[in-house]
Amino acid sequence: MTTKLFGEPVRRREDQRLITGKGRYLDDIGHTALAAAFVRSPHAHARITDIDVDEALDVEGLVAIYTYEDLTGPMAEPLPVLIPHPQLHAPRTGFPLANGEVNHVGEPVVMVVATDRYVAEDACDRIVVSYEELPVVVGVDAARAAEHAVHEEIPDNVAARHHQETGDVEPALAAAPRTLSFTQYIERSACMPMEGKGVHAKWDADDSSLRVYTSTQASTSVRAAIAAKLKLSLDKVEVIAPDVGGGFGVKIVHPWPEELLVPLAAINLGREVKWAEDRREHFIGSAHERQQRQEITVGYDDDGRITALDVHIWHDNGAYTPYGIIVPIVTATQLVGPYALPVYRVVVESVFTNTVIVTPYRGAGRPQGCYAMERTMDRIADDLGLDRAVVRERNLIQADQFPYDHRLTFQDGRPVIYDSGDYPGLLDKLRTLVGWSEAEHLRADAAERGKLLGVGMALYVEGTGPGPYEGGHVQVLGSGKVLVSTGLTSQGQGHETAFAQIVASELGVPIEDVEVTTGDTRRFGYAVGTFASRAAVMSGNAIALAARGVREKALRIAADVLEAAPEDLEIDAGLVQVKGVPGTSIPLRTVAVLSNPLRYAFDEAAKQATQFAKAGDDDKPPVAVGDAPGLEHRDYYSPIRSTFASGAHAAIVEIDPATWEIDVVKYAVVHDCGNVVNPMIVEGQVHGGVAQGVGGALYERMAYDADGQLQNASFMDFLMPYASEVPNIDIDHQQTPSPLNPLGIKGAGEAGVIPGTAAIASAIEDAVGRRIASMPISPTELYDLVRDPSSERTATAARREAGAMA
């Protein structure tokens, strides 16, 4: 029963519950609750001319019908712009229920409440909403062309023009020995958690208090939003994230209309009300990400060293901007990756379209930035006839250059200063792991089998653990049980295990005694949320600090009892003992009892803390000035800036020239997230990320037609990789501890997804010798590309041909 578990591959303790059907998800709550369902817009852009509910009135079990007219006060105002930014010059958000106009298919117009979901849906079907259709804007190019406006008062469709530069780029490009300019695209995908969104609300009229369960990544902030919008006192609102079946970013957005409307109905009706999102609703009523048009100009020398980089991106933000311009900022600032760029300028124009809103999806703009930077490296190598790994190597930030200041401003408003890392080390490990030098041999071998083989790589640096803060609370009970809580939420990452490992190690208690609670405002009211690979960095460190506070107090109390100096004491396996003196010890649970001076003995253990149990110092109060009863401590971690994790991926693809099916035959990952709390959990995170990376590269896209109808809004039509499409993943670790936090850790949640599209695009291009400038790519698209005489052939392909003829 070891208690030094930091860094050990401890099995995820939550899995017993989660994989045996004992999880408690949103829809497992409130079986007797009334059910809400929504009438959503069937049009991408339209004015609402009438809402006729007459036919719905005959539906047995109908309880209530709400439209915009029923919203008053703050509820009648637009939803909040969560993250304002000076460069977001034209922010727009929708209303909880459409106020006369709809701007994307799926926007909620009417909420129906009934005795169950079936009845509610039947009533929805009978409500007739009349629309006057308006011109539709779909896709980043249409938004850019601005023949029509999504919001008529914003004729150019531009919500924000985000601009950063580190020097004078024009002269730098003019002076560059060589330059390249190109345009490339990346498509939309979405988080697609197995569990969609969901809300359950219960109003206690006598206590005038509200309890809300919601499948969220930010329960404390949902709580604040509900209190503000429904004009309730914060202390009368509880918000709890139960087990959450995946988030991947979509559930950090809040308050969703449903998170406000379901509580509103619960209060108005005095009944429990629940809504659980169905899959189509999730496709058309939640959020997407990723679509960008990228125009890149790079200046470089004959050795492939970049002298200047100029990037202009058009980013599709969908119909509204509730999450500000976080994704554009992340793309703009993370694009630079592990490279030293003498001069860099980036402009990201965030444009409105009549489609579902765009907010962070695992990676949150990084896959696009990585795609831009890494494909630029590939083009430079192709132009110069150099090994793609060598070109990268020549541009890498060196190990002795840390901390490295990119002179950019990150999504947390802090400078992009890389705290630590070893990028040449990553690249070396990757080349070895994937067998980079064997590529030509593998290509020839595949050719003999009639296959086209290609290799590709992509490197990334990921800013993780942004502030402002997270907190942790650790309390030892008289039973010996250790209660741990933090405000941020869990969506299956393994927080219960990782946080318990940290406490067991810091406090010296068996992990079996540690109980972790996350995302419950009744337990911890101050938090930011789970996003940007921050839970381990932020709450992990806050919990470690809280545990250290408990340890300090425990030693102080035990020292008094054992008549020893605190520094001579240690805690191991839940026992406080004098170092090197076996037998002189006191159980931590007894220390917990003694920490709370009692008048009344409610049980045997409590007797020890009562006033006549032992002689006290008559000149001192039982609870010292500045001290507090109880063996507990609350602490917070607030970083000066994000800590930067890094990694390198390589993919080997084989393409069948008959079917043009693309098979990822090998996928190698070298990963550096500083000190690792639990390598098994980190590898699991990498696996999941790679799966989504493969999906984004080869399968997933949002198929909008010109009218803004999403044509693949179901799991029958939206392709996601199965286990059969996810390659075996070879992983190697590198550890460069972060100097920014007590545990020296960096985030690992999003990393796996970031380089997938770039690495696989590079591998496909290497295999077919045609320029891949739009991702994802399907076998059909690849077939058309290689058949199209006008499609660009790579210089590398020409050289190979020449070589073959010579």
Partner 1 sequence: MNLDGSAVLSGDPEKVWSVLTDPAVLARTIPGCETLQQVGDDEYTMKVSVGVGAIRGTYAGEVRLSDQQRPASYVMHASGAGAPGNARAKVTIHLSPAEDGRTTLTYSADAVIGGPVAGVGQRMITGVAKRMAGQFFRAIDDELTGVAAPAEALPTAAAVSATSDSASPGEQSPTAAPTAFAGRAGVPAGTSGDVQTLALGAVGGAVLTLIGVLVGYRLGRHHR
Burial of 755: CB neighbours in 10 Å, binned 0-12, 13-18, 19+: buried
Please name the helix (run of DSSP H) or strand (run of DSSP E) that holds residue 408, with its range, or none.
strand 404-409
Q: Smallest distance from the beta carbon of 39 to partner 1, in angstroms?
A: 11
Q: Which of 39, 59, 351, 408 binds partner 1 (CB under 8 A)?
A: 59
Stretch that binds partner 1, among 62-70, 183-191, 599-607, 689-697 (CB under 8 A): 62-70
How many angstroms separate the CA atoms of 337 and 460, rounded?
5
Q: Does 67 bind partner 1 (CB under 8 A)?
A: yes
Nearer to partner 1, 41 or 577 (CB): 41
Q: Smallest distance from the beta carbon of 81 to partner 1, in angstroms?
A: 28
Q: Smallest distance from the beta carbon of 76 to partner 1, in angstroms?
A: 13
Q: Smallest distance from the beta carbon of 55 to partner 1, in angstroms?
A: 10
Nearer to partner 1, 58 or 717 (CB): 58
Stretch that binds partner 1, among 9-17, 52-60, 365-373, 509-517 (CB under 8 A): 52-60
Residues in the interface with partner 1 (CB under 8 A) total 23
Closest among 261, 280, 228 to 105, alpha carbons compared: 280
Count of beta carbons in the 10 Å neighbourhood of residue 462: 29
Nearer to partner 1, 59 or 588 (CB): 59
Nearer to partner 1, 58 or 512 (CB): 58
Burial of 17: CB neighbours in 10 Å, binned 0-12, 13-18, 19+: middle
Q: Which of 6, 38, 66, 314 binds partner 1 (CB under 8 A)?
A: 66
Q: Which of 14, 27, 70, 272 binds partner 1 (CB under 8 A)?
A: 70
Q: Which of 9, 19, 57, 715 binds partner 1 (CB under 8 A)?
A: 57
Q: Kindly write out the interface string for residues 163-182 of this chain, putting x where it contacts partner 1 by CB under 8 A and - elsewhere.
A: --------------------
Q: Does 62 bind partner 1 (CB under 8 A)?
A: yes
Please name the helix (run of DSSP H) or strand (run of DSSP E) that holds residue 787, with its range, or none.
helix 779-787
Q: Smallest distance from the beta carbon of 47 to partner 1, in angstroms?
A: 18
Q: Does 76 bind partner 1 (CB under 8 A)?
A: no
Q: Smallest distance from the beta carbon of 53 to partner 1, in angstroms?
A: 5
Q: Which of 58, 170, 438, 801 binds partner 1 (CB under 8 A)?
A: 58
Closest among 243, 215, 192 to 493, alpha carbons compared: 243
Q: Does 640 bind partner 1 (CB under 8 A)?
A: no
Q: Does 69 bind partner 1 (CB under 8 A)?
A: yes
Nearer to partner 1, 267 or 764 (CB): 267
Closest among 26, 536, 487 to 220, alpha carbons compared: 487
Please name the helix (run of DSSP H) or strand (run of DSSP E) that holds residue 803, with its range, or none.
helix 795-805
Nearer to partner 1, 265 or 591 (CB): 265
**What are the counts of helices (DSSP H) followed by strands (DSSP E) for the chain?**
21, 29
Q: Smallest distance from the beta carbon of 60 to partner 1, in angstroms?
A: 4
Q: Kindly write out the interface string for residues 759-778 of this chain, putting x where it contacts partner 1 by CB under 8 A and - elsewhere.
A: --------------------
Q: Kindly write out the interface string for residues 9-48 of this chain, putting x where it contacts partner 1 by CB under 8 A and - elsewhere.
A: ----------------------------------------
Which residues, 6+ apart, have CB-to-CB distance to 97 below 8 Å? Answer: 66, 67, 68, 70, 71, 108, 109, 110, 111, 257, 261
Partnered with residue 246 across adjacent β-strands are none
Helix, strand, coil shares, percent, the chain, to 5:
30, 25, 40
Instruction: Report helix, strand or coil for 205.
Output: coil
Q: Which of 37, 102, 114, 681 binds partner 1 (CB under 8 A)?
A: 114
Which residues, 6+ apart, have CB-to-CB distance to 674 below 8 Å? Answer: 420, 643, 645, 735, 736, 737, 738, 744, 745, 746
Which residues, 6+ apart, have CB-to-CB distance to 9 below 8 Å? Answer: 678, 679, 680
Stretch that binds partner 1, among 58-66, 147-155, 561-569, 738-746 (CB under 8 A): 58-66
Please name the helix (run of DSSP H) or strand (run of DSSP E) that holds residue 649, with its range, or none.
strand 643-655
Q: Smallest distance from the beta carbon of 109 to partner 1, in angstroms?
A: 12
Which residues, 6+ apart, have CB-to-CB distance to 124 below 8 Å? Answer: 37, 38, 39, 56, 110, 112
Stretch that binds partner 1, among 54-62, 302-310, 425-433, 439-447 (CB under 8 A): 54-62
Count of beta carbons in the 10 Å neighbourhood of residue 242: 22
Q: Which of 7, 23, 42, 61 binds partner 1 (CB under 8 A)?
A: 61
Q: How far is CA 567 from CA 476, 571, 630, in A?
A: 20, 11, 21
- Residue 227 DSSP class: H
Token digits of residue 382: 């192709």
Q: Smallest distance from the beta carbon of 157 to partner 1, in angstroms?
A: 33
Nearer to partner 1, 79 or 111 (CB): 111
Q: Smallest distance from the beta carbon of 94 to partner 1, in angstroms?
A: 20
Is the N-terminal amide bond of 597 cis, ω within 30° of 0? Answer: no
Q: Does 53 bind partner 1 (CB under 8 A)?
A: yes
**Do the beta carbons of residue 555 and residue 569 sit within 8 Å?**
yes
Q: Smallest distance from the beta carbon of 203 to partner 1, in angstroms?
A: 11
Q: Does 65 bind partner 1 (CB under 8 A)?
A: yes
Q: Does 442 bind partner 1 (CB under 8 A)?
A: no
Partnered with residue 453 across adjacent β-strands are 654
Strands 306-318 and 198-204: unpaired
How many angstroms separate the CA atoms of 133 and 799, rounded?
54
Q: Which of residues 562-591 bind partner 1 (CB under 8 A)?
A: none
Q: Smallest distance from the beta carbon of 48 to partner 1, in angstroms?
A: 13
Burial of 689: CB neighbours in 10 Å, binned 0-12, 13-18, 19+: buried
Which residues, 6+ apart, have CB-to-CB distance to 388 below 8 Å? Answer: 377, 378, 381, 456, 457, 762
Q: Smallest distance from the beta carbon of 31 to partner 1, in angstroms?
A: 17
Q: Smallest distance from the beta carbon of 80 to partner 1, in angstroms?
A: 24
Strands 209-214 and 237-240: parallel
Q: Which of 35, 44, 64, 578 binds partner 1 (CB under 8 A)?
A: 64
Q: Which of residues 255-274 bind partner 1 (CB under 8 A)?
A: 265, 267-270
Q: Smallest distance from the beta carbon of 754 to partner 1, in angstroms?
A: 46
Q: Smallest distance from the beta carbon of 270 to partner 1, in angstroms?
A: 6
How many angstroms separate the CA atoms of 694 and 401, rounded?
33
Nearer to partner 1, 51 or 573 (CB): 51
Closest among 81, 701, 585, 606 to 350, alpha carbons compared: 81
Q: Does 115 bind partner 1 (CB under 8 A)?
A: yes
Helix 366-384 crosses helix 795-805 at what angle (to 10 degrees)? 40
Q: Smallest distance from the beta carbon of 575 to partner 1, in angstroms?
A: 58
Q: Which of residues 370-389 bind partner 1 (CB under 8 A)?
A: none
Stretch that binds partner 1, among 49-57, 328-336, 540-548, 557-565 (CB under 8 A): 49-57
Q: Which of residues 343-362 bind partner 1 (CB under 8 A)?
A: none
How many angstroms separate the CA atoms of 110 and 108, rounded?
6
Q: Does 51 bind partner 1 (CB under 8 A)?
A: yes
Residues that bind partner 1 (CB under 8 A): 51, 53-54, 57-67, 69-70, 114-115, 265, 267-270
